[in-house]
Structure 1
């Protein structure tokens, strides 16, 4: 089991882990949309059980135990998880109210928020070409949102908010891989998300924690277990390969999610989705090329 990754090398292994994570997250999204949109489970309730089950599944996996909690950067973990909590909640509300193709297309705006965050929060110099790529990316997002359409719903803005918050979490994740192991990053994410998600689910009118029915329970168990595996694969990918190299492989999640959305719910995306997604993917590829040139120059 350990020889194959060694022969592949860190870049190829990271790419495979990224694709695997995207496929697992597509299945998770389908399970969550099924429980919230079709079975009527409140989004905060489904989110709590998803991450609670993920935490239980992760602890015994490959010997990951309480020793993984050892860290000297607790405040950074808390801040990272705070961004994650907001993103998780907004993503859950988005899946409960908009088609999966629209939600997953809009979540691809995250790299542009990463660029903005790197400039504003980390003081990174952003060239005019990179700013133009950001603008083009958000134009693609506007095409997908179609606020001028009668079909537009404010709930479609939830994935956009999730993209912004997850971008902040991603910036912190990449910086923290220098001192933290993938197991520690994943364990703190799940361990801190779970009680915070419980508190949000217990807010009056939010849905509570109770779930009933074998369909609901089965879907949430699958979603939770796949979440644990996908989060670990994602953290491991970023630990062994460069983020700029990995980003194109993250786009593979789009056909995974669109395909499952068609099969499970009949959500056939309109042509505007492909146009908007092409703008987003093209602009993010431009960002990556600019980043590579900047790195070579440095």
Structure 2
């Protein structure tokens, strides 16, 4: 397959923008309705989308679901649901700007944990970058300052959960196809979200149902764009542009929700992103060697 890096970059940019819009919609709805219900409805639509993709790529649902590691695959879906719930709570409590500034450290967590969990080699340069990134996180959290709030740990917990999800995805990819992992993520996630969210059902107004529909469409649309991104370009060429979700989400938080950008948050986020980009560049160079 011919790689088109320019198209891949444009698609990844569009993907991050759609996901940032999704985060803004999630925050708005979660300020009025409970988080488990919002995430449950979102996963219902996502599961339907996943099933359609699975049938198109694998020929049948049975073929898409075939795996020798169903427990780990199901655990991935449950973990993703939990991570999304925690992150949406962070949006409501802290806002989009600060939540994303902390959450953006998850690639560093993946790099740090890939050695002990997956047996991958992490050299001293990447460990140094990971250390710089976590200095950035400490600048954002300011644990010794009077302004520190324990709520700032919420997006950090979400980042740890998403990093674990990413590591499990790498693990199952050793024996399962991407289509299989995608299928299990949507379906097991929808089951877990329903078991939790159905207990918190509450009436929703007509206009908010419209916003909920847009939220579901952005979720499916974002994942479709992400699939297209990796179809037209190499992941190593477009992955750094995934960091664009941070400025997109911050712009939505600043303009639509009246949030403010604290200088310490901006400095810390810059360090985290720089460390993440260096870690990614180093991984790519080692892989080439």
Name the TM tier (shorter chain): 0.7 to 0.9
Change (3 A) 1:10 1:185: farther
Greater CA drift, 83-92 or 122-131: 83-92
Change (3 A) 1:268 1:150: same
- 1:289 aligns with 281
Counting only pairs closer than 5 Å after superposition, residues 91-130 of structure 1 correspond to structure 2 as 91-130=87-126
Which of 17, 22, 26 does residue 20 from structure 2 map onto? Answer: 26
- 1:66 aligns with 61
Change (3 A) 1:62 1:117: closer
Greater CA drift, 150-159 or 113-122: 150-159
Which of 196, 210, 216 does residue 218 from structure 1 map onto? Answer: 210
For residues 132 and 36 of structure 1, the distance between their equivalents in structure 2, rounded to whole angstroms, comes to: 38
Could you state the TM-score of these two structures normalised by the residue count of structure 1?
0.84
For residues 179 and 224 of structure 2, the distance between their equivalents in structure 1, rounded to whole angstroms, comes to: 7
Cα deviation code 1:130-183 (max 9, x no counterpart) = 111111111111222233444433222121111112122223334555665554
Greater CA drift, 214-223 or 110-119: 214-223
Unmatched tracts of structure 2, length 5 or more: none
Q: CA RMSD in A?
A: 2.6
Change (3 A) 1:100 1:123: same
- 1:3 aligns with none
For residues 296 and 261 of structure 1, the distance between their equivalents in structure 2, rounded to whole angstroms, comes to: 39
1:93–1:155 Cα contact (<8 Å) kept: no
2:103–2:156 Cα contact (<8 Å) kept: yes
Could you state the TM-score of these two structures normalised by the residue count of structure 2?
0.86
Matched, 1:260 2:255: no
Task: Name the SS of the counterpart of 1:121 in structure 2.
Answer: helix
Matched, 1:134 2:130: yes
1:244–1:291 Cα contact (<8 Å) kept: no
Which of 11, 28, 46 does residue 54 from structure 1 map onto? Answer: 46
1:77–1:189 Cα contact (<8 Å) kept: yes
